[in-house]
Structures are given as C-alpha cells and as structure tokens.
Chains A and B, each alone.
Chain A
Amino acid sequence: MRRFEYHRADTLEQASRLLTDLGEDTFVFNGGTDLLVEIRERLRRVRNVVDIKQIPGLSDIIYDETRGLTFGALVTVGRLERLALVRQRYPNLYAAFASLGSIQVRNRATVAGNVCRASPSADTIPPLIADGAFIHIYSRTNRRVVPLAEFFTGPGKTVLAKGEIVTGITVPPAGDNSGKAYLKHGRRKAMELSTVGVAVSLTMEGGLCDDIRITLGAVGATVLRAPQAEAMLRGTSLDAATVKNAANKAMEECTPISNVRASADYRRDMVGVLTGRAIKQALEAFA
C-alpha cells in the first residue's frame, strides 16, 4: 500500500481547514471502506486523509413526523439497517442498506460516505433521491442544504467545494399513502456491486398514483431520474399495461455503458424489468 499522511480533526472547522490547506490529493476519511481499498489498489492517488470520526455531533439519528429521518455523516449503514423504523417506514432504504457490501463493511461504512463517493452504482443513492432526500453541507463561511438530486455532477463528482464537508442527510417523512422499493441486480446475492439498481417511491390517492419518482443506478454518469416514465404513470391506477409502457420509456431514458460487468444493452433491458418489478413491489404496501 502506498504511504499517505493521516490527520485527525476534532471539529468541523479544523477538518475544513485541513481539507483546504493540505492541497491536492487530500480526502475525508470517514468509514474508509472505499478509500483505503482505492489506495491499496492504486485506484486513487492520496497524499493526505482527514479523519472526521472524532468530530462530535455527527452521529445522531432523529425521526420526526414532520421533518422525517435525519442522520449524521458518521452514522453507519449497519446502524440504520438495524433500525426498526427504517425497516417499517423505508423498506427501499432498508433494501439498499442490507445489500451494500458485507455485514463487516456495513458496520464500518457510512451512508454519507457512500453518497459522497458519488458512484453511479452506489446502492444508497437511488432510494434516497427517489424519496426526495437532501444533504447538509458545512463550510467555514456558509452552511447549505442541497437536494440530493442536485448533488452529483458526474461519476465520483459532486457539488462540494474545497473545504466543504457533508454533515448529514434528511429523508422526508414516509406517509401512510406511500409505497417504496429498491431492487438491485447483480450476479451474486451479497458482496456485490449493482449492475443495475432501480428505486421507486410513490404515493397513492383514491386508487390513483398521486406522485412517483423512479431512479436508475449504474446506467449513466450519475444516478438518473426517469421523468418521462414518471409522467406516464402519474394520475393512473398503475395498471399492468401502463406500467409496462412506462418501464419501456425508462429504458429509453437511461444511458448505460458496456464493461466487464454487463453490456449496455443488457443493462437497458434490466432497467425495463426492474422498473416494472419495483413499481409492483412498491404497490404491495397497499395490498
């Protein structure tokens, strides 16, 4: 493994300063489950890491019926996965958390870290965007809140400026009229990077679809929405024929690539299959 310098920050202010002052090739070290592997496999050139795990106030999980679920940047995937509230109210998030890496990895990795890595195939991002989550960002001069859907600018790239640090994520409350699903496609049942991931979050009103968000993972430079497919579904009863047409539309809306994991054509096919299945699964909440 290549050598790098380790710095520990005790406050957000100090962390932010280190990230600015240490210059290029400096990275936040949170769970480290991705960063350390990338250093070891020489996928990322790293001179400095800034450990934020000792910063107080970033480990809380709060749920409130009006604001929803908020968790700090240090909250691990495993902690959220084991929360009854997450299982009951956010089955989509639960599915994403439970499918990320291994149990050991989930006990170390954070959701904020998975989001900030900004991989198009990240499991947590599609259901968080579908749920309309937003992300809290600290900087020494300004704190801001950004909808997660606007956070990503490309593979591995986000709107974060030098010295900015994500402090937490808020997911809006899950109402009784909502249905949610996240489906992951891979070659294995665990320890797998998704070949395609599809999340659906919808609300029903009087037997008709009031709102729906469909997000597609690993089929574009960032996690994508499928706005045209969504538009075809709003106001309908989500009958099989409409869902089928919308799933076909979602296939047109994605921009997959071919690599050793799967071909672009196959990924596109799976967007169609998984979109249909995810809508069906989300509707099971009303069964």
Chain B
Amino acid sequence: MNMTTPIEQRDFKIVGKSVRRDDVLEKVTGEAEYTGDVKLSGMLHGKIKRAAIAHARIKSIDVSKALAYPGVKAVLTHENVPRVLHYGSPHPRSASCTKDQYILDDKVRFWGEGVAAVAAISEEIADEALDLIEVEYEPLPAVFEPEDAAQPGAPLIHDVGPGGNLVLDPVRINRGDVDAGFAQADFVLEGVFSGGRPHPAYMEPNVCIADWDGSNKLTFWTSTQTSFMVRGILAEVLGLPLTKVRVLVDHMGGGFGAKQDLFQHEFLCALLAKQTRRPVKMEFSRHETFVAGRSRHPCKIWLKQGFKNDGTLVARDMKLAYDSGAYGSHGPGVTIVGTTAATSLYRCENVRLEGRCVYTNTPINGAFRGYGVVQSYYALDIQMDEAAERLGMDPAELKLKNVVRAGDIAPSGHPILGHGLEICLQHGIDVLDWKKLRNRDRTPDPKRPHIRTGWGIGCEMHGSSAYPGIKEQGNATVKVNEDGTVTLLTGAAGLGTGAHTALAQIVAEELGVRFEDVGTIHGDTDVVPWDIGAFASHTTYLVGTAAKMAAGKVRTAVLERAAMKLQVSPAEIDLSEGKVFVITDPGRCMTVAQAMGPSRGIPAANIVANGTYEPTKSYSFAAHFAEVHVDTETGIVEVKRVIPVHDVGRVIHPIAAQGQIEGGIQQGIGHTLTEDYVIDKKTGRSLNAGLVDYKMPLSMDMPDIETIILEAAPDPGGPWGAKGVGEDPIIAIGPAIANAIHDAIGVRFRHYPITPEDVLKALREKAA
C-alpha cells in the first residue's frame, strides 16, 4: 500500500456490510414508481416521425393530414419549434464540446433522426398520425465510416466545429522521446485494432412526461442520470429561469452512461405540452432506444510499441479514431478520456498519442460504461499479450513487470494515491496457481475433440470522477429529525446500482445512528442540492464524501446539544448506534431522539448541514482471469469461468459491489463476443435495432464468476478510502477473453465482437 495521507480506520458498524437495500421491497412488490408509471389527468401521448434516409435536406413537410386526424392535438416540425443551437451532452463545465444540435432542423444527419413530433389522445393515434406526415427530401451524399468522413472532400455533416467532420481538434499527447524510445527497442509490434458498436440496452427505455402549470412552470419527469443538466439545458433552450423548471426522477431501470445526454424527445415533449396546455408523455420503443438512444463509439486504433528483450516497454505510438455518429454528444469527452488513458496501464516513458473523433451519418454515440477506455485498453492489453508471446514469456509475468505502479502519473496528470493493479494481478496468479494452469495438459478431451480450452488475463484501471475534464462537485444535505431519525438529501440519481443505500450507510456510519434510521430524498431538483449527475464511477466516491462531511457536521451539532442536556462538555461524550453516552460513564446516556426532542422550556432542535466536496480523482484497478472453450468446428466461443480481482478501496456494500462486477462482466462478454449494433454501410439503415437480433448474453450464457474484491489500495479522496467500481469490470473482461481465445487456438483477434464466423475463418487461414 502506498499512502501519503492517512485514512481513518474504525470499527465499522454499517460500512462494509451488505445491509438490505432501501429500495428492495418496493421493487420486488412492483410498487416502485418509474417514470413510465406516472399518469396525469388529461395526459397526451407524443410520438416522433423518424427519417428513413441518412443524409438529406428537408424540402418540405406537410402535416395537414396529420393535424386533421381525429385525436391529434399538435404537430411540431422544424418550422414551428425554437431554433436554438445547443449541446447534446449537457456538461457546461466541459469546454471541449461544440454546440451542434437543434431541436428540429431542416437537415437530416442520420437514418432514424426525428423530423416531426405528434401529440394525440392515445399512443395508437399518435403512431398512426406519423404515417400521415409527408416529408420531401433532397438526398445528400452520406458517409458511414470515420475514415471516409475524414477524407478531404467528404460530404460535411455540420457547419460548426473544427471542420473536416472532426468533432473536436485532434487530442495530442507527447511524453518523453518516442523516436529515441523506438531506437532503443529490440523489437517493435504493430497492430490495427477495432471495436464495434455495442449498445447499452438498459431495461427501461427512455421516457419523459412534461406538464406546465398556470404559472408557466414546467414539471418534467424523465429517466435521466443528470437531472440538473436536463434542468439547465431545458431552461436555456426554452428561455426560462431555473425556478420555472423542475425535473423529477425516482427509480430508473439502468442507464450505463447513455442517459446523460439531453435528448431530442425531451425538448419535443416539453414543447408539445406547452402548445397543447396538457401533460404529454413520450416513451421510446425498444427500436427507438437503439436509433435515437446512444451507443458506444466504434473505434479504430493503430498501435505501435517498442520492447526490450527483457520485456521493458520503451515506446508507444498510438492513433485512435472514434466514430461519433451524427452529433458530438460525448465524443469529445470519450476521445480525451480514451486517448489519455493510453498514457498508462502499462508503464512507458515515451508516449505519442493522437485521438480523433469524427462525425458520420450514423446514429449518435454517447457515454457508455468504460467511456473510451474499453476501446484503448483492449488494444494495449492484447498487444502486451502479443509481446509476451514474442518473448516466449508468460503474459502474467510480462504484465506484472510493466503495470503502473506507485509514483507514476495518472492519465489525469496527477499522482495516484492508491495503486492496486500489481496486487490484483499477483493475487489472481496465486489464487489460480496460474503457472500450473499455463503448463496444464492441453490434450483435447477425446469425447469432445473439437473443443479447445484457453486462459487469458485482462488488466484495467479506471478513474472515479471525470477530473480534470470536468471539475466535479458533490453535494449533500443531512437533517436530523426530532425523533432521532435522519434525512439525507442528494441529487445523485439512482440508476438501480444501490447508490442511495451506500450513501445512507455512509451517513449512518459517520453520524453514529442505525442504517434503518436514515431516509433518503432524491430526484427532485426543486428540493435536493445541486448534483453533477451519476456518471464516471463517482457517486460513492464523490457524493459519498460530501454526505460524510455533512453527517460529520450534524454529528458535532447533535453532540453539542446532548452535552448541554447531559451537562457535560461535548468532548466527554460519544455517539454510536443512535445513543449519546459519557465516555467514562456509559450509563449516563440518552438517545438521539432525547437529545433532539423538546424538553421543558427547550424547543426541538433543528439541525441541518451541507457537505460540498470538490475532488480530483481516484483510480480503481482490476485483473480479470478468464477461461474459454472454443468449438473449432462451429467457431463458438463459450466463456466458462471468470475470476475478477478488483481493488476498489474501502468496500461500502459488498453485495452491491459484487453485483456491479458481475453485471460489467456480462456486458463485457456481450461486447466481446455477440453484441454489435449494425448499420448498413450503403444506406445508413439500422439492421438489428431490437433485442431479437442484438444479442446480449443472458443468464444461461453466463460463466461461473468468482469475484475477489481487495481493499488493499484505498484512496484518501473517498469515504474511508472508497473508490469507484461501476465501470471497471467492463474494461478488463474483453482483453481477457481475446487473450484466452489466443491461448486456446493460437489465433490473435484484434477486434470485437469476435464472432463464430471470424473464429472459423481464422482457423482455416491458420490451417492453410
């Protein structure tokens, strides 16, 4: 452990225990209210007319038939909505974005983009009215691949931005002397890596409801990770003060990062409600979550690295090209984070990186768990395996030699305080008896001679918080009620991860009350403190620290009040499990309720405190060990066993942390083997925008997962050293699988998803 700041140790009563989640009863009984469950009197239903062309100018839109259709109350087109250029990704503190979106434009930039919206008395009527809208298009030449879009003379998708279909100026990072590094190298490896377009496919499709009251105030229910960003951009685009926009979100059925944009349907819903003076609901179909939602950026990576014969890495030259789709969304953030991540993971003093993000006429790519890093670490980790092969070395040994260590500068540019990758790798090697596994008998089972088995390792590191790209701030308000119960107010969204439970655990632990006595209020921008949003694996780290700070303040106030009542000085008493007692005489005590409540001549106390925390960043680490079975006749790869070893600092809720890891592995297996949202490269049409042909692994496809969570490298920036865990597992599993496939059949894949056809084709090429 490498600590520069001491982390408070204590005999934990609540933190580190898998307490019953505060939302579990409502969820299992079906009582939990999701946005789609909200029903308002007189509510209309909105639907969006989507373009069946990838790039075009709208010559005319005739909505007369739709407007005349019985039950239709309003139709919006680019001709009657405010024309305000805005960001798709609502991070106003991030300077990298270009405003490139209108609510509706006279141009279509991808197949499936909304060109008009209808509100009607039923969903069916709204849907039927869409067919009555007649749009005449002037087709424009379209580009579907970043390499084509980046060619000089390629059709331009936007008039704004740096030009040449670039979403932002190329991100360039230079450290050391790369040419001198290559000159020292004993050998150089070069490879082209590429990633498909996985889609998060959260269970709850995007949905929102807009309602304007008599004072011209908008109440807006929406399934979002960033309710304050939604409030801010809606207010800006609609020209309203923040007091006139209230955003509500209670339970969510997932988001995985993708629900942190401001979506076209959200503006349209608010405008339809305004025009009709009635509440309007808009809910995506599953098809729409694909075409109008957000997916991971497809990426192409050119990676060249120089090595010494002892395995030392001496130079890294890497170019990355991310496909943004038709709008910028999180393209800038993903490019910056994914490119800078490649300064690290495996140590190298001489690094030259160039990341680009390019517009194409395809559906929008956005934030998604593993934010740009899934792509870049897939390349780095696989090439490290290739180097081990070239050196005749055990990949575990080579990775252990090169992994990032204490004293190294993080991709964010600041020193990491809790380093855990070396520990994770070594732990997995020991637990699995890796050397023995490597040297196992590889004779195929005579009963299944077509099956080959393989083991692989994937490594990753990932930051909690988006620092330095975004200067983050976490806020919490804690109130103590007169009966001794405690209320936490937080703006952090509950995507379904159990984040609110973790925050309540932190408050109860710090304050010294029972977990059951802490209630959480969230999801109402008129009530809770400002929040940046739930993303970047930061809720427990960032908001958890703010909640701990607020709880610490109210604890002091409670102790002062109790001291007065017990007629001792605050220094003489302590507070634990809801009881205040004199340290030297624990018999002299009172409950928090007694301390807070009224007594003769003294009114009940009103104790409220805020915590505000502006962190830098912590890093979490993982090494995944995966076993695959490859069917050499069908090309099917089955992941049989995964041993994920994670370091996440102090664990707040072990079962929730384990759930994050298992879920990330499931999603990562999908990315690596079966999931790819396919866009037809001739027309731009989506070929599998639905769950029939977009193949997510299901329970039957899951391997045995034996999760190991270490608490060896806490970071002083988080509550008692806690760090993030949300994104990490999806990053390490991909290269672990690709490396295991190589171990099984001796074929090196440098792309995902690795399909059965790819495997079969490669096996035949190898045999030929």
Contacts and interface: CB of A to CB of B under 8 A. Distances in A.
Q: Which are the 8 A-B pairs with shortest beta-carbon distances? A: A189-B700, A190-B700, A260-B687, A266-B757, A273-B633, A187-B695, A187-B674, A260-B688
A278 to B, nearest CB: 13
Contacts of B634: 185, 270, 273
A191 B760 contact: no
A144 interface: no
9 contacts: A1-B127, A2-B127, A187-B695, A188-B695, A190-B699, A190-B700, A260-B688, A262-B757, A266-B756
Interface string A242-262: 000000000000000000111
B674 A263 contact: no
Contacts, number: 46
Interface in A33-62: 41
A221 B564 CA distance: 86
Contact of A2 (B124, B287, B678, B757): B124
A122 interface: no
A187 B634 CA distance: 11
Interface string A171-204: 0000000000000010111111100000000000
B687 A187 contact: no
Given A41-B690, A263-B757, A188 B674 contact: yes
Contact of B760 (A189, A260, A269): A269
A156 B280 CA distance: 39
A269 B760 CA distance: 10
Interface string B662-704: 0000000000011000100000000110101101011111000
Contacts of A260: 678, 687-688, 693
A41 B287 contact: yes
Given A193-B692, A270-B634, A187 B756 contact: yes
A187 B701 CA distance: 9
A261 B757 contact: no
Given A187-B756, A188-B695, 18 more contacts: A2-B128, A3-B124, A3-B128, A187-B636, A187-B674, A188-B674, A188-B700, A188-B701, A189-B700, A189-B701, A191-B698, A193-B692, A260-B687, A260-B688, A261-B693, A262-B757, A263-B757, A266-B760
A1 B127 CA distance: 8
Q: Pick the most buried of A2, A262, A270: most chain B CB atoms within 10 A of its CB.
A: A270
A36 to B, nearest CB: 14
Contact of A188 (B127, B128, B687, B698): B698
A261 B699 CA distance: 21
Contacts of B690: 41
A273 B123 CA distance: 48
Contacts of B673: 187
Interface of B: 123-124, 127-128, 287, 633-634, 636, 673-674, 678, 687-688, 690, 692-693, 695, 697-701, 756-757, 760
Contacts of B700: 188-190
A44 to B, nearest CB: 14
A193 to B, nearest CB: 7
A105 to B, nearest CB: 12
Nearest to A1: B124
B633 A189 contact: no
B692 A190 contact: no
Nearest to B691: A191
Which interface class (under 10, 10 to 19, 20 to 34, 35 or more) fits A?
A: 20 to 34
Contacts of A188: 674, 695, 697-698, 700-701
Contacts of A187: 636, 673-674, 695, 756
Interface of A is mostly: loop
A185 B701 CA distance: 14
Contacts of A263: 757
A41 B286 CA distance: 9
B256 to A, nearest CB: 20
A269 B692 CA distance: 23
Contacts of A261: 693
Contacts of A262: 757
A140 B674 CA distance: 49
B287 A190 contact: no
Nearest to B638: A189
Nearest to A37: B692
A262 to B, nearest CB: 7
A48 to B, nearest CB: 16
B672 to A, nearest CB: 12
Interface in A1-19: 1-3
Contacts of B693: 260-261
A187 B631 CA distance: 13
Contacts of B127: 1-2
Contacts of B698: 188-191
Nearest to B675: A187
A190 B692 CA distance: 12
Contacts of A191: 698
Contacts of A2: 124, 127-128
A260 B687 CA distance: 7
Nearest to A186: B695
A185 B690 CA distance: 20
B359 to A, nearest CB: 25
Contacts of B633: 273
B639 to A, nearest CB: 12
A72 B124 CA distance: 35
A188 B674 CA distance: 9
Nearest to B122: A3
B553 to A, nearest CB: 51
Contacts of A41: 287, 690
Interface string A264-282: 0010011001000000000
B366 to A, nearest CB: 23
Q: Pick the most buried of A3, A190, A192, A266: most chain B CB atoms within 10 A of its CB.
A: A266
Nearest to A185: B634
A135 to B, nearest CB: 27
A193 B692 CA distance: 8
Contacts of B123: 1
Contacts of B692: 193
A5 B147 CA distance: 51
A272 to B, nearest CB: 9
Nearest to A190: B700
A182 to B, nearest CB: 16
B641 to A, nearest CB: 16
Nearest to B695: A187
A261 B636 CA distance: 14
A269 B673 CA distance: 20
Q: Pick the most buried of B123, B128, B693: most chain A CB atoms within 10 A of its CB.
A: B693
B371 to A, nearest CB: 26
A43 to B, nearest CB: 10
A213 to B, nearest CB: 23
B440 to A, nearest CB: 26
Nearest to B758: A266
B691 to A, nearest CB: 9
A25 to B, nearest CB: 15
B687 to A, nearest CB: 5
A269 B761 CA distance: 11
Nearest to B450: A273
A262 B697 CA distance: 17
B7 to A, nearest CB: 44
A274 to B, nearest CB: 8
A261 B695 CA distance: 10
Contacts of B695: 187-188, 192
Contacts of A185: 634
A266 B688 CA distance: 19
A188 B694 CA distance: 11
Nearest to A40: B285
A35 to B, nearest CB: 15
A34 to B, nearest CB: 11
A92 B661 CA distance: 38
Contacts of A269: 760
A172 B700 CA distance: 33
Nearest to A272: B633
Nearest to A189: B700
A81 to B, nearest CB: 16
